[in-house]
Amino acid sequence: MRIAYTNLLDDLVLADFTPSGTATGFPITNVQEQRLSVRWRSVTPTAQSVIIDFGTAQTIDTAAILGHNISSSASSITVLTASDGSTWSTIGTLVHNADAMLVFASATNQYFQFSIDDPLNSDGYVEVGRLWLGSYVTISPSSLLDFRVVKRRSDMVTIGKNRQKYASPGVGWRRFEMSFPATGGSILSAIQTMFDTVGNHSSVIFTNFDTEYADYPIVYPVYASIEGDLSFTHDKRQKYAYSIILEENK
């Protein structure tokens, strides 16, 4: 299992972003907003890019695009890097998915670029809720077998006394309930650091099967937040079993 919980882009200011074009009312700083419904929008869908200048070299191993309208026919969705802001090299290609798209690719540089070419996009523009550059933590031993996925909905339903139904459709999301075997050492410390950092208030990206997620769509990488407390049960020799509940965010 891999969890990315620190997005380096969230600490930047407007001047650190250079989008190829921005539609009125949809500024590039919207990609720093946790809610995926708050989006940056381009003017056209063809050959769009967002260049990020960190000011100094930063190390990342996770890049993601979340909450987007990019079509499955997009000809290119890549992440690039440069030391001078002009000589670019590709570090990863994102595989299309309707929700979260990410690639694990390591690089250390001052400049990074998201490049999207989606000329057949029926909306006539590219829209993105979150851009993400950061690092992931590996949870091992993982919850490869002992986990439960629940598909939930926010539909509002009232049943009358004569069994007539009155309903307002909501949205669907996934809930992940995972139990981990006794763990100690650096992994236990990493779990606590993650929870101390994000609590229930900030969203993370997690993938239960590392990079082997294409064949398991029900647990495809997800943008989610931790629900409730994180409790540890001592097993032996300072190793603790624990559980985590994550619920998908929109």
Between 29 and 221, the more confident residue is: 29
Question: Rounded mean pLDDT of 31-59?
Answer: 97
Show Cβ contacts of residue 139 under 8 Å, excluding neighbours closer than 6 positions: 1, 2, 3, 180, 187, 190, 191
Can you give the pLDDT at residue 1?
86
Residue ranges covered by each domain of the chain: 2-136, 147-248
Q: pLDDT per residue over 150-180, tens digit each?
A: 999 999 999 999 999 999 999 999 999 988 8
**Measured between alpha carbons, how far is 85 from 212 in angstroms, rounded to an integer?**
33
Report the 10 Å Cβ neighbour count for 248. Answer: 19
Residue type (1 letter), 139: I
Three-class SS state of 70: coil
Instruction: Give me the CATH code for the 2-136 domain, please.
Output: 2.60.120.260
pTM of the complete model? 0.91
Q: Which residue carries 């099967």 as its tokens?
A: 209
One fold for 2-136 and 147-248: no
Query: Which top CATH class is 147-248?
Result: mainly beta
Question: Rounded mean pLDDT of 30-56?
Answer: 97
- Please provide the average confidence, as pLDDT, over all residues in the chain: 93
